Amino acid sequence: MSYSVSDIQQVIMDVLSKVLNATDLQLSDNFFAKGGNSLAAVIAISEIATRLNMAVPISAFFTVGTIGDLANSLIHDSAVGDDMPVRLHGTI
């Protein structure tokens, strides 16, 4: 299944708002600057992966600058194919 950037952004914002217990998140925010930590990242990754039915590497949270960058990374990587770190479940 393919998702638009806005679909992925909405899922990420919903999940991170819940995980960080924050109501004021913006796409320009940095997950860690808003109080996120590695445990919160793992929890968020699990929920994002479940909702979008894609594997989300933990490194994604550590290599992007903002929440918006994370969404863009996931949409780009899932559209590129098997050489990228985000793959639909079941593909190798």
| Segment (H or E) for 51 | helix 38-52
Q: Are 45 and 31 in contact (CB under 8 A)?
A: no
pLDDT of 90 higher than 80: no
Write out the residue range of the structural domain in which residue 21 sits: 5-80
pLDDT of 80 higher than 70: no
How many Cβ atoms are within 10 Å of 90's Cβ, its own excluded?
7
In a domain, 28, yes or no: yes
pLDDT of 85 higher than 60: no
Identify the pLDDT of residue 61.
84
Query: What pTM was estimated for this model as a whole?
Result: 0.78
In a domain, 68, yes or no: yes
In a domain, 86, yes or no: no
Identify the pLDDT of residue 25.
94
In a domain, 10, yes or no: yes
Number of structural domains in the chain: 1
Q: Give me the CATH number covering residue 62.
A: 1.10.1200.10
Of 6-10, 61-65, 76-80, give the lowest mean pLDDT range. Answer: 76-80
